[in-house]
A and B are shown apart, each in its own frame.
Chain A
Amino acid sequence: MTEPLGRILVVDDTRINRDILVRAIAAQGHEALEAENGRVALELLVADPDPAIDVVLLDLEMPELDGYETLRRIKADEALRHLPVIVISAVDELDSVVRCIEMGAADYLPKPFNAAVLRARLSTSLAAKRLRDLERDYLKTIDRQRSELARFLSPQVAELVSSPDGEALLGGHRRVVTAVFSDLRGFTAFAETAEPEELLDMLRDYHAEMGRLVVEHGGTLEHFAGDGILVFFNDPVLQPDHEQRAVRMAVAMRERFEALQGAWRKRGYELGFGVGMAVGHATLGRIGFEGRYDYAAIGTVVIMASRLCSEARGGQILLNQRAYAAVEEIVVGEPVGELALKGFSRHVPAYNVLGLRAGVSGE
């Protein structure tokens, strides 16, 4: 039998009680620390977080700081509140025990002391403390994994992976989304002539700026592919205003691009920024193979956004009819006619967004 061994703090103002408990605790294989009142005990607990004290044996009648106040302070302290406290009490003082259990004490140890009872009480409280420590370690690991995941995945998807609904949503579902596809005109020519370092520098700036806008508007970044960026809204987190968020992001991206373009132009590169945006049903979920899965959106809405983007000239943000209808009240736009898009048998009416209406904030 492997008894869990721990560090036990004995808090009692009566020397004989401390001596007996310290001896008994040591005889049971634990390490014993002692304090003659609550004030000294709290000093020890705060000063000695590692290796941590596992269990406190607490007398109630003490000068300076009595057991009730000590217990109250332990339970009020975020770092100490999970520490099991066993109250020491004579059998004729069970009222006090009830009060302490209500205040958060884990258990009580009757006086006069009994070795077997002490062993059982310590063993129970230590097991609880070990579980609590394990739980804390697991939570830390999950937190670390989540923040690490968030560096690779969009924050919404990282959150989804560790949420209770995660498995169902990852498994695949249908939903109306707004898809936004953007890329750079003239990028291929630029990539052919630019030095690789220069190309990577430029893409890094571009991705950093655009990525920030995606996060600000609550978009789910599906992927960066060179200069192409696919973002969708309303999934995995539902967003009642997903169309408006998307168009605000597109307008903000275009403005941001214009600022970046100034710097690139000085280096002799002429680039243009185009956006396609569409609203419609998509199937969303985990797509890929064991070893590499992506959270992806599949459906004509994504293809539509991509085709509209291909049609857009530099500076244009082209929307399909459903997307335009949803954002009409906050944007100034113009119809650009019915476009023949590859893969779509019927011509698609499209609209260009010139900007947000006056008085509509860019947030």
Chain B
Amino acid sequence: MPDHPIDEAAFGQLLETVAGDEEFLAELIGTFLADSPNLLVQMRSAIESGETETLRRAAHTLKSTSATFGASRLAGLAREIETAAAGAALDGIPARVEAAAAEYEIAAAALRGRTAGAAST
């Protein structure tokens, strides 16, 4: 499927970087799943309070970590939000944050599936 939420090449590169340790990779995914919802919460409240710097920083972190796991679409959305926040141009940004939240759920489900696979071996 060309539009899979997790980019295989990027995910493979991550596994290689941690020396093929699937168990460790599962821990990393656990950290990602634990930390990312907070970033989305921070982004929503930053938009409400107009704290563009907080928004930019949260989007930057989400961009970086999601790219690490090969969640390319999510990383792309986070980058758009980061760039908009840096320019303080927030038109249409609340919708992008909601799109990121939805995409996060898809990526998270795909990553959880991989964790389950790793745990069963």
Q: Do A92 and B79 have beta carbons less than 8 Å apart?
A: yes
Cβ contact of B13, chosen from A15, A16, A61, A114, cutoff 8 A? A114
The answer for the CA separation of A114 and B65 in the assembled complex, in Å, is 14
A111 within 8 A of B: yes
**A117 to nearest B CB, angstroms?**
9
Q: Do A14 and B61 have beta carbons less than 8 Å apart?
A: yes
A127 within 8 A of B: no
The answer for the CA separation of A90 and B62 in the assembled complex, in Å, is 12
A47 within 8 A of B: no
Q: Do B79 and A19 have beta carbons less than 8 Å apart?
A: no
B18 within 8 A of A: yes
Given contacts A61-B60, A114-B17, contact A16 B67 (CB under 8 A): no
Contacts of A15 in B (CB 8 A): 31, 35
Q: Do A24 and B19 have beta carbons less than 8 Å apart?
A: yes
A27 within 8 A of B: yes
Q: Do B32 and A16 have beta carbons less than 8 Å apart?
A: yes
The answer for the CA separation of A85 and B55 in the assembled complex, in Å, is 28
A269 within 8 A of B: no
Q: Identify whether the interface residues of B are mostly helix, strand, loop, or mixed.
A: helix
Q: Do B35 and A16 have beta carbons less than 8 Å apart?
A: yes
B28 within 8 A of A: yes
The answer for the CA separation of A306 and B75 in the assembled complex, in Å, is 89
The answer for the CA separation of A25 and B47 in the assembled complex, in Å, is 38
A118 within 8 A of B: yes
**B114 to nearest A CB, angstroms?**
15
Cβ contact of B18, chosen from A14, A24, A92, cutoff 8 A? A24
The answer for the CA separation of A37 and B18 in the assembled complex, in Å, is 22
Contacts of A359 in B (CB 8 A): none
Q: Do B28 and A20 have beta carbons less than 8 Å apart?
A: yes
B112 within 8 A of A: no
The answer for the CA separation of A17 and B32 in the assembled complex, in Å, is 10
**B12 to nearest A CB, angstroms?**
11
Given contacts A20-B28, A24-B18, A92-B79, contact A111 B60 (CB under 8 A): no
Cβ contact of A112, chosen from B19, B21, B60, B68, cutoff 8 A? B68
Contacts of A61 in B (CB 8 A): 57, 60-61
Q: Do B16 and A111 have beta carbons less than 8 Å apart?
A: no
Contacts of B17 in A (CB 8 A): 20, 23-24, 113-115, 118
Q: Do A16 and B18 have beta carbons less than 8 Å apart?
A: no
Cβ contact of B21, chosen from A17, A23, A111, cutoff 8 A? A23
User: How many chain A residues touch B (Cβ–Cβ < 8 Å)?
Assistant: 20
**A116 to nearest B CB, angstroms?**
8
Q: Do A111 and B31 have beta carbons less than 8 Å apart?
A: no
The answer for the CA separation of A61 and B61 in the assembled complex, in Å, is 9
Question: Which residue from chain B places its CB closest to the CB of A24 in the assembled complex?
Answer: B17
B64 within 8 A of A: yes
The answer for the CA separation of A17 and B18 in the assembled complex, in Å, is 11
B10 within 8 A of A: yes
Q: Interface readout for B7-30 with A: 1 if CB under 8 Å, 0 if not?
A: 000100110111101001001100
Question: Which residue from chain A places its CB closest to the CB of B57 in the assembled complex?
Answer: A61
**B51 to nearest A CB, angstroms?**
14
The answer for the CA separation of A27 and B32 in the assembled complex, in Å, is 22
Q: Do A17 and B28 have beta carbons less than 8 Å apart?
A: no
Q: Do A14 and B65 have beta carbons less than 8 Å apart?
A: yes
Q: Do A90 and B16 have beta carbons less than 8 Å apart?
A: no
Given contacts A16-B65, A112-B67, contact A23 B18 (CB under 8 A): yes
Q: Do B24 and A17 have beta carbons less than 8 Å apart?
A: no
The answer for the CA separation of A20 and B14 in the assembled complex, in Å, is 8
The answer for the CA separation of A265 and B18 in the assembled complex, in Å, is 86
**B11 to nearest A CB, angstroms?**
10
**B80 to nearest A CB, angstroms?**
11
Q: Do B28 and A19 have beta carbons less than 8 Å apart?
A: yes
B63 within 8 A of A: yes
Contacts of B79 in A (CB 8 A): 92
List the interface of chain A (C-beta within 8 A of B): 13-17, 19-20, 23-24, 27, 61, 63, 90, 92, 111-115, 118
CB-defined A-B contacts under 8 Å, sample of 25: A16-B31, A16-B35, A16-B68, A17-B64, A20-B18, A23-B18, A23-B19, A24-B17, A27-B18, A27-B21, A61-B60, A61-B61, A90-B64, A111-B64, A111-B67, A111-B68, A112-B13, A112-B68, A113-B13, A113-B14, A113-B17, A113-B68, A114-B17, A115-B13, A115-B19
